[in-house]
Amino acid sequence: MPHALRSPRLIIGTVATIAAALTLTSCATFTEADAVATIGSTTIDQETFDRLLAEYLDRGDVFGTLPAIDGEVPGGEARRLLGALIQVAATDEVLDRAGETITDADRAPVDAELPAEHPWRSLSSEFLDVILSLQQSVRGAALARVATPSAEDVEAMYRMSPESTGVVCLRHILVDTEIEADEIVELLESGADFANLAAERSTEPIAVTSGGALVGNGSRCLPVAQINQTFDPLFVAGAYAAPPAGWSDPVESSFGWHIIMHRPFDEVGEDVIAVHSGSDSGGFLVDGLLASSGVRIDPRYGTWDPVSSGVVPIG
């Protein structure tokens, strides 16, 4: 598993996926607040975060981080670390709900391949556990033990928050201007069928036959991890903001203006349930938790961006 020995700077930055959104001009400071972030019922407490952040900043030789100056922490460094810890906490949350946890046995194969002279070996055992828990092979081994949810549970999740299932099943109508988008909304509110309207009015060429549906490989749904990586971020944000039933307000992207809707469960339920029929279900649940409203962050550090799966400044 050569990928397990990547540099720690790359691990933190890649998993948090927020480097492009961070600035180093804003600062966060250590405070007495009880919680830095909550992910479902899992909490990243202030004491733990301060301890890990102090080590993260102090070990610039390992992480390439900027140091704290007079107690002020570069905001970008704090957010980068917090984003990585949230990734770990989301996995822990899904595992805890299933009565599971990441074990020493899960970490052992990666740990065994780590040379004695590797810089990670000079870190505290607490920080090393964080880094090992970020490795895909470690997370995957633990999440494979998560029991698949029942069809009834998957349906309940989808009807409350479609993206919480780890997939989205979308239709959209693309037009050139906001005025046209507003007209589409008026027609929908008057009872027009979304798919028919997409076929008639959308500028997307295949909408004539697809009814504006965005489909995956052999599925009517797309993994949230895939749309986060490959779709326009403004479109994805609009999709996550769309109500479970009905349609979104007009959403502007680099392609134009969209009206987006989650397809009804009665239309796509078999595909959503199929996602959770195998050993990958736990991974989809983690992705769904990070894409839905399950993450809360102390605003001193920023806010959670489900599209980039990272912490970004407020405003």
Give the 3-state DSSP-derived string for the chain, with helices as H, strands as E and coil as C. CHHHHCCHHHHHHHHHCCHHHCCCCCEEECCCCCEEEEECCEEEEHHHHHHHHHHHHHCHHHHCCCCCECCEEEHHHHHHHHHHHHHHHHHHHHHHHCCCCCCHHHHHHHHHHCCCCCHHHHCCHHHHHHHHHHCHHHHHHHHCCCCCCCHHHHHHHHHHCHHHHCEECEEEEEECCHHHHHHHHHHHHCCCCHHHHHHHHCCCCCHHHHCCEECECCECCEEHHHHHHHCCHHHHHHHHHCCCCCCCCCEEECCEEEEEEECCHHHHHHHHHHHCCCCCHHHHHHHHHHHCCCEEECCCCCEEECCCCEEECCC
Tens digits of per-residue pLDDT, 80-132?
A: 999 999 999 999 999 999 999 999 999 999 999 999 999 999 999 999 999 99
Rounded to an integer, the average pLDDT of 284-301 is: 94
Q: How many CB atoms lie within 10 A of CB 96?
A: 14
- Domain with residues 164-276, CATH architecture: Roll (3.10)
- Average pLDDT in the chain: 89
For 142-197, the pLDDT digits (tens) are: 999 999 999 999 999 999 999 999 999 999 999 999 999 999 999 999 999 999 99
What are the extents of the domains in the chain?
Answer: 2-147+288-312, 164-276
Asked if pLDDT for residue 18 goes beyond 80, the answer is no
**Best CA proximity match to 131, nearest among 85, 94, 96:** 85
Q: What is the pLDDT of residues 240-254, one digit of tens each?
A: 999 999 999 999 999
Q: What is the pLDDT of residues 197-231, one digit of tens each?
A: 999 999 999 999 999 999 988 899 999 999 999 99
The average pLDDT across 19-25 equals: 30
List, for residues 23-57, the tens digit of each pLDDT value: 333 344 434 458 999 999 999 999 999 999 999 99
